[in-house]
Copies of this chain bind each other. A is one copy, B any other.
């Protein structure tokens, strides 16, 4: 294991939790759209993968199936997500955003993004580019391929 890998790992381990904690605090402070970080990420996933299953969401977010089931409970009770039994396989569950869910997500995204942008704004352009490139580099390492979910039966009223 070369030194640069170690240094890089150490920096990631130090910085990324701090960033996420800052995001968490900011999201909690904005009482308007009461979403936890996992809830927010789950809404984003469902938005990108209408009709996905519970397992899909659990694997992507990094939660166990029971935990995701509970998380989805909360989102369903809040009226943000629609949980329906799949017609193709009645063991499976089909997840979709409700209109409210989509708009709550959009609002949370907008608010968090505005705040985050404000934090980044003073950085020189080159630095922003570096950060952006770094995120693109890390994406495939830590985000199980986002677009593997077959988008079938997205809606079936």
Contacts and interface: CB of A to CB of B under 8 A. Distances in A.
Interface of A: 1, 4-25, 37-38, 41, 44, 61-62, 109, 112-114, 116-117, 119-121, 123, 125, 127-139, 141-143
A63 to B, nearest CB: 8
A109 B17 CA distance: 14
Q: Say whether chain A's binding surface is mostly helix, strand, loop, or mixed.
A: helix
Contacts of A114: 1
A4 B129 contact: yes
A16 B120 CA distance: 15
Given A12-B135, A123-B141, A130 B128 contact: no
B1 A121 contact: yes
8 contacts: A6-B113, A8-B135, A15-B139, A16-B135, A21-B38, A22-B142, A119-B141, A131-B137
Contact of A135 (B14, B61, B141): B14
Given A17-B23, A17-B41, A142-B18, A9 B120 contact: yes
B37 A135 contact: no
A15 B139 CA distance: 6
Contacts of A22: 62, 142
Contacts of A25: 62
B135 A15 contact: yes
A1 B117 contact: yes
